[in-house]
Amino acid sequence: MRVVRLEGRRKGASLPFRWGVVISLIVVLGICLFIWSRLGLEMVISNQKTGEVYLKRQVSVDDMMTYKWIHSFEHIPWYEDFRIKGVANMDLEETRVAGFGAGIPENQGAVTVSNGMVVSTDIHKRFDHIQWINSQTALQYIAINDEVVIKGSEMPHHEPLQLKIERRFYLWRKPH
């Protein structure tokens, strides 16, 4: 029996093939990192029935979103502060109301009185979206980090609206 040795022949892939695989993996990893770095959050306000969009605005985790209302019957100011926690995740942290009236919750969180306002803190009620029938007179504004981004009067009156936090891909980041 004769043993034949194949000298110079290696098992496995050739060197150019291995380099091709390594370069391909680096390119794919680079594309994934690019896409991941461009993902952001966007606040979207739209009509519940038609889907018409009234506002799209880039937001970030830990931004504070404030609704300012005027109570329709009592005619007193009402503030609701939500912390943006991520996609479809808003945390109602605090409400401030200049008194109590119809529909105003009085038993959530720690309740104190400050500067004539009844303040409820430590509420931590989670919302994946917010729905309401818009009133151009009751909804004064929605703000992000104390910057008014839209007023109730800028959206249709007596229409069912919704606010959601969605994930978006931004090729070029927009400033807030």
Residue 72 has a pLDDT of 77
Residue 100, domain member (yes or no):
yes
The pLDDT value recorded for residue 105 is 72
Identify the helix (H) or strand (E) that includes residue 39. strand 39-47
In a domain, 29, yes or no: no
> What's the confidence (pLDDT) of residue 35?
60
Q: Does 98 reside within a domain?
A: yes
Specify if 4 maps to a domain.
Answer: no
Identify the domain containing residue 80 by its residue range. 41-169
**pTM score, two decimals?**
0.75
Q: Answer whether residue 133 is part of any domain.
A: yes
Strand order in the sheet with 39-47: 53-59, 39-47, 160-169, 129-133
The answer to whether position 99 is within a domain reads: yes
Nearest to 121 by CA among 84, 100, 94, 96: 94
pLDDT value at position 18?
A: 81
Query: What's the structural domain count of the chain?
Result: 1
pLDDT of residue 71: 84
Residues lower than pLDDT 70 in the chain:
1-13, 31-38, 101-103, 170-176
Q: What's residue 42's pLDDT?
A: 95
Residues 40-56: pLDDT tens digits?
899 999 999 999 999 99
Residue 120 lies in a domain: yes
pLDDT score of 176 = 46
- Given this model, what pLDDT does residue 33 score? 62
Is residue 46 domain-resident? yes
Closest among 76, 53, 78 to 68, alpha carbons compared? 78
Q: What is the DSSP code string of 71-121? A: -TTT--EEEEEEEEEETTEEEEEEEEESS--TT---SSSEEEEETTEEEEE
Reading the block at residue 166, the tokens are 């969605």
pLDDT at residue 169, as a whole number: 74
